[in-house]
Copies of this chain bind each other. A is one copy, B any other.
Amino acid sequence: MAMAMIISNEALAPQIYVMKVQGDYKGKMGQFYMLRSGMSYPLLPRPISIYDIGEHDISFLYRVVGEGTQQLSKLLPGQEIKLEGPFGNGFPQVEGSLGLIGGGMGTAPLLLAAKHYPHAHVYLGFAEQSFGVEAFQAVAASVQVKVGGSIVEQVNPARYKYMFSCGPTPMLQALALQTVGTSSRLYISTERHMACGIGACLGCTIRTRTGNRRVCKEGPVFPVEEVELDDLHGM
Query: What residues of chain A have their CB less than 8 Å away from a CB belonging to chain B?
Result: 39-41, 67, 71, 76
Contact residues in B for A40 (Cβ distance below 8 Å):
41, 67
Bound-complex Cα distance A76 to B75 (A): 11
Complex Cα spacing A40 to B71, Å: 11
Q: What's the Cα separation between A39 and B67 when bound, in Å? A: 9
Q: How far is the CA of A40 from the CA of B68 in the complex (A)?
A: 11
How many copies of this chain are found per oligomer? 2
* Chain A to chain B contacts (Cβ below 8 Å), 7 pairs: A39-B39, A39-B41, A39-B71, A40-B41, A40-B67, A41-B41, A76-B76
User: How far does the alpha carbon of A39 sit from the alpha carbon of B41 in the complex, in Å?
Assistant: 9
Most buried by B among A40, A41, A76: A41
Cα distance, A71 to B41, chains bound together (Å):
11
Residues of chain B within 8 A (CB-CB) of A67 are 40
Smallest Cβ-Cβ distance to A41: which chain B residue = B41
Shortest CB distance A76–B (Å):
7
Chain B: minimal CB distance from A206 (Å) = 30
CB-CB under 8 A from A76, the residues of chain B are 76
> Residue of B at shortest CB range from A67?
B40
Contacts of A41 in B (CB 8 A): 39-41
User: Bound complex: CA of A40 vs CA of B41, how far in Å?
Assistant: 8
Report how far A40 CA is from B67 CA in the complex, Å.
9
Residue of B nearest to A43 (CB): B41
Ranked nearest first, the 7 interchain pairs of A and B with the lowest CB-CB distance are: A41-B41, A39-B41, A40-B41, A40-B67, A39-B39, A76-B76, A39-B71
User: Distance (Å) between the CB of A38 and the closest chain B CB?
Assistant: 9
- Per the bound structure, the CA–CA distance linking A41 and B40 in Å amounts to 8
A65, B88: Cα distance in complex, Å: 39
- The answer for the CA separation of A47 and B88 in the assembled complex, in Å, is 46
Q: How far is the CB of A183 from chain B (nearest CB, A)?
A: 51
**Distance of A155 from chain B, by nearest CB (Å):** 42
Bound Cα distance from A39 to B76, whole angstroms:
16
